[in-house]
Amino acid sequence: MPFHFQALEIEGVILIEPKVYADTRGFFMESYKRSDFEAAGVAGFFVQENHSQSRNGILRGLHYQCAPKAQGKLVRVIAGKIYDVAVDVREQSPTRGKWVAAPLSAENRRMLYIPPWCAHGFLVLSEEAEVIYKTTEEYSPDHERGILWNDPQLSISWPIVNPILSERDQLWPSLPSAAMPADVEISRVKAPGTTPTVK
């Protein structure tokens, strides 16, 4: 199989490591294969792809969309390195408010799948970084929501204390006040194994 899937400690969050074929000419890898991803619990079609560039110390997040436009995201880095974070925002979830994180970089070529019931954010650790992410729903400004990046209820261990934020990202509410992505259909994750939460 050209991918290794690890289910993290929030339902549906999956760390993906592609198999890389490298030689003196360079390398080749598959970055997405629908049949393998669906077998690992990453269900649904990707309908939009976004590409962002950010410099060192910039933090984007924590973002999500409400139903019926809740988005699953497949995140990967093609230049630089980021600290990628997912937070469970489901009201009735036993892991509500729990977060997991993974370093993603152009060097390790790992990807993170973030299901529709999670908020997402990342911090740039390198001089600059370029991030590409596919989504299972198109961007909808009317359904966009967010949670404050340093919400004390979450206690996310960001690698730096004073990141660079947009004005909007400084003004999101805390988790108890945030509108939840209700009515999201949850598919059970079939990916084997777990990996420790970064906390």
- CA–CA gap between residue 171 and residue 160 (Å, rounded): 19
Our answer to whether residue 63 is catalytic in this structure is: yes
Q: Which of 21, 63, 64, 83 is catalytic?
A: 63
Our answer to whether residue 120 is catalytic in this structure is: no
| Strands 48-55 and 111-114, sheet pairing | unpaired
Which residues have CB under 8 Å from 152's CB, separation 6+? 174
Residue 98's nearest CA partner among 44, 157, 159 is: 157
What is the DSSP secondary-structure string of 45-75? ---EEEEEEEETTBEEEEEEE-TTS---EEE
Q: Which of 64, 83, 113, 133 is catalytic?
A: 133
List 74's β-bridge partners, or say none: 113, 134
Cα four-point dihedral sign 110, 135, 176, 161: positive
Task: Tell me which residues are annotated as active site.
Answer: 63, 133
